[in-house]
Homo-oligomer: A and B are copies of this chain.
Amino acid sequence: MSTKRNKLMPMTENSAKWYSQVVQYAELAEHSPVRGCMIIRPYGYAIWEVIQRNLDKRIKSAGVENAYFPIFIPKSFLSREAKHVKGFAKECAVVTHYRLKEDARGEDVVIDPEAKLEEELVLRPTSETIIYDAFSRWIKSWRDLPLNINQWANIVRWEKRTRPFLRTSEFLWQEGHTAHATKDEAAKEVARALKMYHDLAKDLLAIPTTMGYKTESEKFAGADYTTTIEALLRDKKALQSGTSHMLGQNFSKSFNVKFVGRDNKEHYVWQTSWGLSTRIIGGVILMHGDDKGLVLPPKVAPIQVIIVPIWKDKEQRFFVEEFVENIKRQIGSKVRLKIDWREESPGWKFNEWEMKGVPLRFEVGPKDVKKGSVFAAFRHTGEKKSIKVDKDFTATVMQILEDIHNQMYERAVEFVEENTHYVETYDEFKTVASDKGGYVQAFFCGDSKEEELIKNETKFSTRCIPMKTYEKLGPCIKCGKEGHLTNFARAY
Contacting pair A90 B99 (CB below 8 A): yes
Contacts A90-B101, A95-B95 given; 8 further ones with Cβ under 8 A? A34-B74, A39-B69, A45-B66, A76-B108, A79-B109, A91-B99, A93-B98, A94-B100
Contacting pair A70 B122 (CB below 8 A): no
Contacting pair B71 A42 (CB below 8 A): no
Q: Does A170 lie at the interface of the complex (its beta carbon under 8 Å from any beta carbon of B)?
A: yes
Contacting pair B170 A72 (CB below 8 A): yes
List A residues 78-103 near B (Cβ within 8 Å).
78-79, 85-86, 89-102
Q: Contact check: which of B41, B96, B100 meets A92 at CB < 8 Å?
A: B100
Task: Output the nearest chain B residue to A168 by Cβ-Cβ distance.
Answer: B70
Q: Contact check: which of B32, B37, B74, B143 meets A33 at CB < 8 Å?
A: B74
Q: Contact check: which of B68, B122, B172 meets A40 at CB < 8 Å?
A: B68
Contacting pair A66 B49 (CB below 8 A): yes
Contacting pair B89 A100 (CB below 8 A): yes
Contacting pair B72 A172 (CB below 8 A): no
| A98-B92 contact in complex given A33-B130, A71-B156, A72-B34, C-beta closer than 8 Å | yes
Contacting pair A67 B39 (CB below 8 A): yes
Separation of A78 and B38 alpha carbons in the complex (Å):
19
Q: Does A368 lie at the interface of the complex (its beta carbon under 8 Å from any beta carbon of B)?
A: no
Contacting pair A39 B134 (CB below 8 A): yes
Interface residues on A, range: 35 or more
- Stoichiometry, copies per complex: 2
Q: Contact check: which of B75, B99, B137 meets A158 at CB < 8 Å?
A: B99
Which residues of the partner chain B approach A141 to less than 8 Å between Cβ atoms?
Answer: 1-2
Separation of A352 and B80 alpha carbons in the complex (Å):
36
Contacting pair A100 B111 (CB below 8 A): no
Which residues of the partner chain B approach A65 to less than 8 Å between Cβ atoms?
Answer: 42, 45-46
Task: Output the nearest chain B residue to A37 by Cβ-Cβ distance.
Answer: B70
Contacting pair B96 A94 (CB below 8 A): yes
| A92-B99 contact in complex given A37-B70, A70-B37, C-beta closer than 8 Å | yes
Contacting pair B67 A95 (CB below 8 A): no
Contacting pair A70 B170 (CB below 8 A): yes
Separation of A49 and B67 alpha carbons in the complex (Å):
10
Contacting pair A89 B101 (CB below 8 A): yes
| A109-B42 contact in complex given A2-B140, A32-B69, A66-B49, C-beta closer than 8 Å | no
Q: Does A185 lie at the interface of the complex (its beta carbon under 8 Å from any beta carbon of B)?
A: no
Contacting pair A95 B93 (CB below 8 A): yes
Shortest beta-carbon distance from A65 to chain B in Å: 4
A 33-60 to B, binary, CB cutoff 8 A, 1 in contact else 0: 1100111111001101100000000000
Shortest beta-carbon distance from A277 to chain B in Å: 12
Task: Output the nearest chain B residue to A171 by Cβ-Cβ distance.
Answer: B68
| A75-B32 contact in complex given A42-B66, A70-B39, A100-B122, C-beta closer than 8 Å | no
Which residues of the partner chain B approach A37 to less than 8 Å between Cβ atoms?
Answer: 70, 72
Nearest 5 CB-CB pairings of A with B: A42-B65, A37-B70, A40-B68, A98-B158, A89-B100
Q: Does A120 lie at the interface of the complex (its beta carbon under 8 Å from any beta carbon of B)?
A: yes
Shortest beta-carbon distance from A337 to chain B in Å: 15
Which residues of the partner chain B approach A120 to less than 8 Å between Cβ atoms?
Answer: 111
Separation of A76 and B103 alpha carbons in the complex (Å):
13
Which residues of the partner chain B approach A305 to less than 8 Å between Cβ atoms?
Answer: none
Contacting pair B30 A172 (CB below 8 A): no
Contacting pair A100 B74 (CB below 8 A): no
